Structure 1
Amino acid sequence: MKKFVLLFLGLGTITMASFGQQKKIVADKIVGIVGDKIILQSDIHNAIADMSRQGATVPENAECSVMEQALVSKVLMLQAQKDSLPVTDEEVEAELDQRVRYFISQYGTQEALESVAGKTIYQIKDDARESVKESKLAQAMQRKIVDNIKITPTEVKTYFDRYPKDSLPFFESEVELGQIVVYPKASHDLEKYVMDELANYKKQIEAGLISFEQAAKKYSEDPGSKDRGGQYQINRNEKQWDPTFMAAAFRLKEGQISNVIKTKFGYHIIQMVQKNGDDAVIRHILRIPPITDVELNASISKLDSVRAKLIAGTIDFNNAAGKYSDDEQAKYAGPYIISGDGDAYNRIDELDKGIVAMLDKIKVGEYSQPTVFTDERGKKGVRILYLKSKSEPHRLNLKDDYNRISQSALEEKKYQALDKWLKANIPSYYIMIDAETGNCPQLKKFTDAEKATASK
């Protein structure tokens, strides 16, 4: 299973090397050819260096694994071209933009990224465009091969029965947990007070009494940008930003400061630092109107009523969350808290301490009392929790872990289907592998194909 995951993730990875990392770790030489596509030794070494930089565990046979991924990717990409699988220019540009924004976030600013790469953003994207398109084609072919593969309960049991019974993994207690969140609205007087303060900051900045950066460090309530003087690198097409915030920001000219604007996060003033098409560098100051006990008590009362309806059975939890919760996830992805693994099963040690304290007071199937909390943005809210399920600490078993086991079994089945497809299709491609690199055991199917090609 792990091999399958590594292989499939590798096909779609775009590394810093793809974006113009100027230092080659070794002198370039061609270590592989598939059809008319080449694989460079420096690409292999740079990919491994990126794994290390990103904190991933680098296996002892990393060169062999990365070389295998590169060869598979080339074969899939060429087959996708043969099959005329669609990959649009828009998809490629969206991937380029996403990865550039990721690396900007890693290095702090666009200027820092360009300094490290030794190229402008436009040059970085130009250099990476072809490799990104190849990657997207390989992913499309990969999906064509494996996406329709299903798993049956019998196959899941057979897969589980192969586990050595004396080495079954141990799992800590996990909970399936939903929440309904209400964010109290500040009083009109306190909202006006905050707006007046922001307007005063703007006057002071425009009068030259203080810089925007200094004011943000002193007054902003945004923990994500306060220490940077309120600075963010943004793109007009990014969905995580509040639409009102983005619209106000992109209406500004360079150096201009907005009037006070209201978003779902609070009140802001924004300064446009630099604008280049859909990309911009901005600074902002966020102020959140304080919530008093009056507003908190009103929200507690509201959730008390919701809880009473849930207990009486006049509304189910999913509908209640959709109707009453101010939590954005509940509106679009459901009310259950998602774990770091992307599912709804959370280990206790993964949860917020405030949630853990509330869990001690409810049993499976029960709803907590409304409780005041402060979220990661510093906003005060009130929430009730629903404990849908809770597993005891246990060894892996079909009863408690069917979904987890079935997913692993499905991944193995997909890997086997891909491996079968490769063995059947690799011989139809011209393949050359450098003699030193070709000693890797997992490359045997490629070296056998190379020998078959040479003997023709």
Structure 2
Amino acid sequence: MLKKLAIPALFLFMASAGFAQEKVVADKIAGIVGDKIILKSELATAIADMIRNNGGQEVKGVDECTILDNMLIQKALVLQAEKDSLPVTDEEVEAEVDQKIRYFIQLYGGKDAFEQIAQRTVYQAKMDFMQPIREQRLAEAMRRKVVQDVTVTPTEVKEYFDKIPADKRIFYESEMQLDQVIIYPKASRDIEQLAIADLNEYKKQIESGQRTFESLARLYSDDPGTKEKGGTIELSRSDNKTFDPVFFSTAFRLKEGQVSPVVKSKFGYHIIQMVSRNGDDAVVRHILRIPQITQAEIDETTKQLDTIRTALVNGQIQFGQAIALYGDESQKSTAGQVMNPRTGSTFLTISDMDKDMVLLLKDANLKPGEVSKPHVFSDDRNKKGVRIVKMLSKSEPHRENLRDDYDRIAARALEQKRSAALEKWFLSKIPTFYIMIDGEYRSCPNLAKWEIGPATAGN
């Protein structure tokens, strides 16, 4: 059955863009769909990159036959999308190109390392990525168009589930859905002034040449993600929604080498230095100081949350109102619901939770509908906060069944039906495309659907 591209799209992007960490074989056409060409070097690059990203081991079930099949499928979807004039804007493509480039820069440890490995500048790499990412967008748009009207009925969901052997049905650990209200205690003004004074002293030492920004960042910054890199961060104008707005706007107002005054973000206080800038891209350094919280502030916040909990338990306010009144922006964006960092869903197992949440639930032993007492915790930046948690639902460990897991079973049944619809559409379209596949791949069993014959196959 024809499915979505089985090979991770990132590797196909890398292959299509010619991005590789080692030299590959000389170019030769492996296949053509319409006017879309696939080179043998692209297959070799995709294989090499997958092996490299799999710790030097071959990826089971993935070979040139598999990759070529997936690339041919994508080219066919792109071709039809272009015929149907499906919209993909330059802005969409450029935003995704920037995101991919930032991923690689982070993966390889910086812009210089990326350019050395890619053997091209960031600008050249961006140009290389434009066409494959545009094609990926077009392929996705065409796939959505083909399956947009496909739905499943409850009867179809049951029929799908009944076909799964009892011993093959998924076993779920205990899963929970949780709401939380978090309040971060605020440091006293005296402690804040001390952090500001420290940063002003660092700025003075940097500007006088006594110390370097990097050495001070390594010694004193409270940002664990950049501390060991001398405070270095790579920014792009397109990142404006992912960074604190005060930090972001301050950084882009600086000239190269300039150190900012002390600025306050949602994380604490910073000084920022512009290292280099190229159009909408910049490299900056920063030193973060987080004013330390004392037990007095923690106790005050705990008391505040205890009052909020009492109002919730007594029905004086609803949890959503508590989030709106007291939660920060990150909580408001999810209506206070705790999200699974691994799957992005609202269902969490114990292994998906931070250690402080595990301790809270162990001590509180909450039942669905109950709200915990305030609990002190440390977030991933080691910032102390206080939270209360409401248990929305809790399942016992169980083998998958229709009563408890209908939505997840229905989602898989829908995906299977969409795959069948896509296969039917695709097989009906193959005869309308010009297809050429090099003779080297004629023995690939998964390419039989392309109906390779003497008139279409290569030598």
Using the size of structure 2 for normalisation, the TM-score is 0.93
Q: How does 1:54-453 map to 2 (within 5 A)?
A: 54-55=53-54, 58-238=59-239, 239-326=241-328, 328-339=329-340, 340-360=342-362, 361=364, 362-448=366-452
Instruction: Quote the Cα distance in structure 1 between the aligned partners of 2:202 and 2:219.
Output: 11
Q: Which residue of 2 aligns with 1:18?
A: 17
Q: Are the counterparts in 2 of residues 217 and 228 from structure 1 also a CA contact under 8 Å?
A: yes
Q: Which residue of 2 aligns with 1:38?
A: 37
Root mean square deviation of aligned Cα: 2.1
SS of equivalent to 2:127? helix
Cα shift at 1:214? 0.2
Deviations 1:348-371 (A, max 9, x none): 112111111111222222111101
Cα shift at 1:5? 5.0
Instruction: Quote the Cα distance in structure 2 between the aligned partners of 1:453 and 1:380.
Output: 66
AA matched with 2:412: S
SS of equivalent to 1:14? helix
Instruction: Quote the Cα distance in structure 1 between the aligned partners of 2:403 and 2:54.
Output: 34
Cα shift at 1:138? 1.3
Q: Are the counterparts in 2 of residues 12 and 135 from structure 1 also a CA contact under 8 Å?
A: no
- Ranges in structure 2 where 5+ consecutive residues have no aligned partner: none
AA matched with 2:434: Y
Structure 1 residues 336 and 6 mapped into 2: Cα distance closer, same or farther (>3 Å)? farther
Q: Are the counterparts in 2 of residues 427 and 453 from structure 1 also a CA contact under 8 Å?
A: no
AA matched with 1:376: D
Q: Are the counterparts in 1 of residues 3 and 423 from structure 2 also a CA contact under 8 Å?
A: no
Q: Are the counterparts in 2 of residues 254 and 273 from structure 1 also a CA contact under 8 Å?
A: yes
Q: Are the counterparts in 2 of residues 20 and 119 from structure 1 also a CA contact under 8 Å?
A: no
Structure 1 residues 23 and 107 mapped into 2: Cα distance closer, same or farther (>3 Å)? same
Name whichever of 51-60 and 243-252 sits farther off.
51-60
- Ranges in structure 1 where 5+ consecutive residues have no aligned partner: none
Q: Which residue of 1 aligns with 2:47?
A: 48
Q: Are the counterparts in 2 of residues 212 and 283 from structure 1 also a CA contact under 8 Å?
A: yes
Instruction: Quote the Cα distance in structure 1 between the aligned partners of 2:10 and 2:78.
Output: 10
Structure 1 residues 315 and 452 mapped into 2: Cα distance closer, same or farther (>3 Å)? farther
Structure 1 residues 451 and 150 mapped into 2: Cα distance closer, same or farther (>3 Å)? farther
Instruction: Quote the Cα distance in structure 2 between the aligned partners of 1:24 and 1:140.
Output: 33
Instruction: Quote the Cα distance in structure 2 between the aligned partners of 1:367 and 1:129.
Output: 50
AA matched with 1:358: L
Cα shift at 1:151? 2.1
AA matched with 2:302: I
Instruction: Quote the Cα distance in structure 1 between the aligned partners of 2:13 and 2:266.
Output: 34
Cα shift at 1:153? 1.6
Instruction: Quote the Cα distance in structure 1 between the aligned partners of 2:66 and 2:193.
Output: 60
SS of equivalent to 1:290? coil
Instruction: Quote the Cα distance in structure 2 between the aligned partners of 1:59 and 1:6.
Output: 16
Deviations 1:104-163 (A, max 9, x none): 010111111111111111111222222222222112111111233222222111111110
SS of equivalent to 2:25? coil
Structure 1 residues 346 and 429 mapped into 2: Cα distance closer, same or farther (>3 Å)? same
SS of equivalent to 1:245? helix
Deviations 1:308-348 (A, max 9, x none): 1211122222332232212x332112222222112111111
Instruction: Quote the Cα distance in structure 2 between the aligned partners of 1:104 and 1:17.
Output: 19
Q: Are the counterparts in 1 of residues 16 and 132 from structure 2 also a CA contact under 8 Å?
A: no
SS of equivalent to 1:39? strand
Percent identity, aligned pairs only, is 51
Instruction: Quote the Cα distance in structure 2 between the aligned partners of 1:343 and 1:13.
Output: 27
Q: Are the counterparts in 2 of residues 10 and 69 from structure 1 also a CA contact under 8 Å?
A: no
AA matched with 1:439: S
AA matched with 1:14: F
Deviations 1:206-252 (A, max 9, x none): 11111000000000000000000100111122121101101100111
Name whichever of 131-140 and 242-251 sits farther off.
131-140
Instruction: Quote the Cα distance in structure 1 between the aligned partners of 2:128 and 2:330.
Output: 37
Q: Are the counterparts in 1 of residues 185 and 385 from structure 2 also a CA contact under 8 Å?
A: yes
Instruction: Quote the Cα distance in structure 1 between the aligned partners of 2:399 and 2:179.
Output: 25
Name whichever of 356-365 and 208-217 sits farther off.
356-365
Instruction: Quote the Cα distance in structure 1 between the aligned partners of 2:52 and 2:235.
Output: 24
Instruction: Quote the Cα distance in structure 2 between the aligned partners of 1:35 and 1:16.
Output: 20
Q: Are the counterparts in 1 of residues 173 and 398 from structure 2 also a CA contact under 8 Å?
A: yes
Instruction: Quote the Cα distance in structure 2 between the aligned partners of 1:29 and 1:212.
Output: 50
Cα shift at 1:26? 2.8
Q: Give the count of matched residue pairs.
A: 451
AA matched with 1:391: S
Name whichever of 352-361 and 435-444 sits farther off.
435-444
Q: Are the counterparts in 2 of residues 25 and 42 from structure 1 also a CA contact under 8 Å?
A: yes
Deviations 1:150-189 (A, max 9, x none): 2222211111111011222222111111211001111111
Instruction: Quote the Cα distance in structure 2 between the aligned partners of 1:407 and 1:207.
Output: 62
SS of equivalent to 2:348? strand
Q: Are the counterparts in 2 of residues 11 and 73 from structure 1 also a CA contact under 8 Å?
A: no
